[in-house]
Amino acid sequence: MASPLKLAVIPGDGTGPEVTAEALKVLAAIAKLEGFTYETTTFDWGGERYLKTGETLPAGGADELRKFDAIYLGAVGHPDVKPGILEKGLLLELRFQLDQYVNLRPVKLFPGVECPLVGKGPEHIDFVVVRENTEDMYAGIGGWLKKHTADEVATQTAVYTRKGCERVIRWAFDYTMKRNNPKGKMLTLVAKTNVLTYGHDLWWRTFQDVAKDYPEVKADYNHVDACCMWMVKNPEYYDVIVTTNMFGDIITDLGAMIQGGLGVASGGNINPDKGGVSMYEPMGGSAPKYTGQNVINPIAAIAAMSMLLEHSGQPKAGARVMDAIQKVTGTKMKSQNAGKMGYGTKEVGDLVIAHL
Amino acid sequence: MASPLKLAVIPGDGTGPEVTAEALKVLAAIAKLEGFTYETTTFDWGGERYLKTGETLPAGGADELRKFDAIYLGAVGHPDVKPGILEKGLLLELRFQLDQYVNLRPVKLFPGVECPLVGKGPEHIDFVVVRENTEDMYAGIGGWLKKHTADEVATQTAVYTRKGCERVIRWAFDYTMKRNNPKGKMLTLVAKTNVLTYGHDLWWRTFQDVAKDYPEVKADYNHVDACCMWMVKNPEYYDVIVTTNMFGDIITDLGAMIQGGLGVASGGNINPDKGGVSMYEPMGGSAPKYTGQNVINPIAAIAAMSMLLEHSGQPKAGARVMDAIQKVTGTKMKSQNAGKMGYGTKEVGDLVIAHL
Ligand SMILES: CC(C)[C@H](C(=O)O)[C@@H](O)C(=O)O
Ligand SMILES: CC(C)[C@H](C(=O)O)[C@@H](O)C(=O)O
C-alpha cells in the first residue's frame, strides 16, 4: 500500500480556519473515492499566535515543514497585527526558507462566475501565470542615507541570478509543453527590458537561451504595462506567462480580479525539486469581518486543495475536485461574493462533495 | 498684449505627425475663439532622424526646449529602431533633463466611449494618477556580476529621495485640493510598503508628514497589487492617486485601458516649478501600420493639447477643448478604435472644432 499523503495544515486567522475546514472536508471525500490515504498535522501559526507569543514562524518551523509532502495554508492576517509582520515573518519566510521558487497562479474563469470584463467568458479567460518567487525586490535589500533629514536617500535593490531566473523559466516552458494548449503553445515573458536594462537584460537573455530547448513553444514578450492592458482587453491572447517576483505580484492580483475575484483565486508556492515542499493557498485574506458567520466563499480554498492534489501525486483526484468546483459555480451558486452565494460556506463545501 | 504662447512641437514617427496635425488644428481654432496667440517650432526628433543621424536627443536639445512655454509630443517609435533606444535616449532623457517630476494621467471615461468593464460608465471612471517621474528603478542604476556565466548576478536599484517624493506628494495634495471632488477629497498613496521596507518606508513617512498640511484631504493607502484589483472592480473609489515611477508606469496603462484605450488617453510630464517646461502627449504609440491612412484616432492627441492649455496659462481654452472632445465622443464617434470611428482622423479633428 502506498504511504499516506502527509499534509501540514496552517488554517491561520479570521475566516482562514472556516475555508480550510471545507477544503479538508473535500479532501476526505475525494480520498475515499479515489482510494488514497492521508494524514494532517495542524499548525497554529498566524496573527493570533503572534499576538500571544510574539512568534511568526517559530524557530525550526521550516524544518518541521520539510517532513511533509505538502503544506496547506488558509489565510493569515489579523487586524491587531501591524501590516508587514506576518507577510514578511511568515509567508515570505516560508517561500524563501523552503525555496518555493515557482508561484503558480491559474487565471481561469469558472463557468457561472461573474466576470468584470465586458464580453468575456470562460472561453476567454484561461491562462496561467508563473511568478518567480525568491528574488527581485523581495530580497529585502536596501537602506537609508541621512534618514529623517531633508536630504534622505532610500534604496531598494532588485537582485536576480542566472540560476534563479533559469530554473523558473525552464519550469514555465515545461509547464507550457504539458499544458499543450490546442490554440498553440506560447510562453510570454513579462518584464520591463526597456527600462530595467541590467536586471531584466539577464531575464531576457536567459529566456532566449532556454527557449532554444523548446522549439515547439512560441517564446513571446510583453512589457509589464502593456500586459496589464492586454489582460483587460484581450485575455484570450495568453497561454502561459512567466514573470519576475515584483511584477508577478501585481499581474496575479489583476488576474484574480478578471477571473472573478479573491473568492475563487488560488495559488501554489512550489519547490519542484526532489524533496521540495510546496504550499497551496487561496489568494484571499483572512477577511476578519466575516469570521464565524458561515458566509465566506470556500471555492478558492477548495481550488487550492485541488491544486495541491494535482502537484502532490494525486492528479486524478485534483482534476475531479476541479470538475466538481466548476459544476457548483456553473449551476448552483448565485454569486462568488461573501454572503451572496445563495448558500453558506459549509453548504458550498457540501455541494462540491455532492458533485464529485 | 500678452506675449504669444511658445510651443515646441515634436510630431515624431508613424502616425505621430497625423495626430499632431489635428491637435494643432484645434489649437488654431481655440486660439482664435479665446483670443490668444501662439507660435510653434517643430523638431524632427524621433526614429526617422535617429536612423539617419544616430542621434536621439541632439546635443543641447534639452536647453533648446527650455526656451519654450511647453512641449507637445506626438509619438516616437519606429519599427527599424531597437526597442529601448528612443524610450531611453529621448523620452526618459527629456523627463530627466527637464526635471519633469510630475507625470499626470487623468483616467476619465468620456461619454460614448466603450468601457471594457461591466456596468461602469463615465460616472464611475473619473480619477487622476500622479506618477513620480524622475526616480525609482528609472534611475538606470545596476549592473552584472559574472555576466554570461552560470553564476551571473544582476541588480537594478530603485533610488528615492526625500526631496523627490516630497515634491510630487505635495503637488498631488495641492491638486486634490483644487480638484475639489464633491464626493470628498481623497489622495491614495499606491506603493508596496510591506515588501519594499526601505524605499517605500520613505514614501510612507513623507506621505504622512505632508498629509498634516492638508487636513481636508483624506490620506489613503493601497498596496499596488490591491490597487490593480480595485481599479477593475471599483474605480469609482478613487479621487487622486500618487505613486512611484515604476508602479505608476503600470497602473497608468491599466487606467488607460479602463478609460477606453490608447486612442483616448493622454498625459503630461510636468515640471511645475518656476521656469519649468512641461511636455504633453497622447499615450498611444506611433502605430506605424496605420500611417498615412487617415484612420488613427486623434482624440488622445487633442486631449493632450487640452491638458497643455490647461497647464500653460489657458485653462479656459483647455476646458473648452475638453468639452468639445466629450461632445464628439458622446454623440458622433462609433468607436475609439483606429479605422472604426465612423470618421477619418481629419474629420474627427473637424468635429471637435465644430463643437468648440
Ligand atoms: C502578502 C504579500 C507579501 C504577498 C506578496 O507580495 O507576494 C502577497 O501579495 C502575494 O501575492 O502572495
Ligand atoms: C516608453 C517607456 C520608457 C515609458 C515608461 O516606462 O515610462 C512609457 O511606458 C510611459 O509610460 O510613458
Phi, psi values for residue A282, rounded to 5°: -70, 150
Residue B135 in 3-state DSSP? coil
User: Residue B251: what pLDDT?
Assistant: 98
User: Residue A219: what pLDDT?
Assistant: 98
CB contact (8 A) between residue B258 and residue A154? no
Tell me the per-residue pLDDT of A168-194, one tens digit each, with 9 for 90 and over: 999 999 999 999 999 999 999 999 999
**CA–CA distance, A54 with A87 (Å, rounded to integer):** 14
Q: How far does A348 lie from chain B, in Å, by closest CA?
A: 24
**CA–CA distance, A53 with A223 (Å, rounded to integer):** 44
CB contact (8 A) between residue B195 and residue A261? no
Q: Which amino acid is at B108?
A: K
- Mean pLDDT of chain B, nearest integer: 97
| Residue A50 CA, distance from chain mean position | 24
- Do B193 and A84 form a contact (C-beta atoms < 8 A)? yes
- Picking from B243, B292, B185, B261, the residue whose alpha carbon sits closest to that of residue A226 is B261
Q: Which residues of A touch B152 (CB under 8 A)?
A: 161-162, 202
How many angstroms separate the most distant Cα atoms in chain B? 69
Domains and CATH numbers, chain A: 1-100+270-356 (3.40.718.10), 115-259 (3.40.718.10)
Nine cell digits for residue A221:
514578450
Residue A123 exposure: Cα atoms within 13 Å on the Cβ side: 2
Q: What is the pTM of this model?
A: 0.97
**CA–CA distance, A269 with A304 (Å, rounded to integer):** 11
User: Residue B142: what pLDDT?
Assistant: 98
**CA–CA distance, A222 with A117 (Å, rounded to integer):** 21
Instruction: Tell whether B254 lies on the interface with A, counting CB pairs under 8 A.
Output: yes
Instruction: Tell whether B232 lies on the interface with A, counting CB pairs under 8 A.
Output: yes
User: Residue A255: what pLDDT?
Assistant: 98
Measured at the CA of A245, the angle between CA A80 and CA A192, to 5 degrees, comes to: 130
Instruction: Please check the confidence at residue A1 and state whether its pLDDT lies above 80.
Output: no
| Residue A321 CA, distance from chain mean position | 17
For residue B157, report the distance from its CA to the centre of ligand 1, in Å: 20
Instruction: Tell whether B199 lies on the interface with A, counting CB pairs under 8 A.
Output: yes
Q: Which residues of B touch A145 (CB under 8 A)?
A: none
Q: Measured from the CA of A103, which atom of ligand 1 is nearest? A: 12
* Nearest protein Cα to ligand 1, atom 11: A249
Tell me the per-residue pLDDT of B124-172, one tens digit each, with 9 for 90 and over: 999 999 999 999 999 999 999 999 999 999 999 999 999 999 999 999 9
Tell me the per-residue pLDDT of A48-75, one tens digit each, with 9 for 90 and over: 999 999 999 999 999 999 999 999 999 9
**CA–CA distance, B322 with B154 (Å, rounded to integer):** 46
Long-range contacts of B338-347 (CB under 8 A, 24+ apart): B338/B263, B338/B287, B338/B290, B338/B295, B338/B296, B338/B297, B339/B290, B339/B293, B339/B295, B341/B295, B341/B297, B344/B294, B344/B295, B345/B18, B345/B19, B345/B22, B345/B294, B345/B295, B345/B296, B345/B297, B345/B298, B346/B21, B346/B22, B346/B294
| DSSP bridge pairs for A141 | A157
Q: Which residues of B touch A160 (CB under 8 A)?
A: 153-156
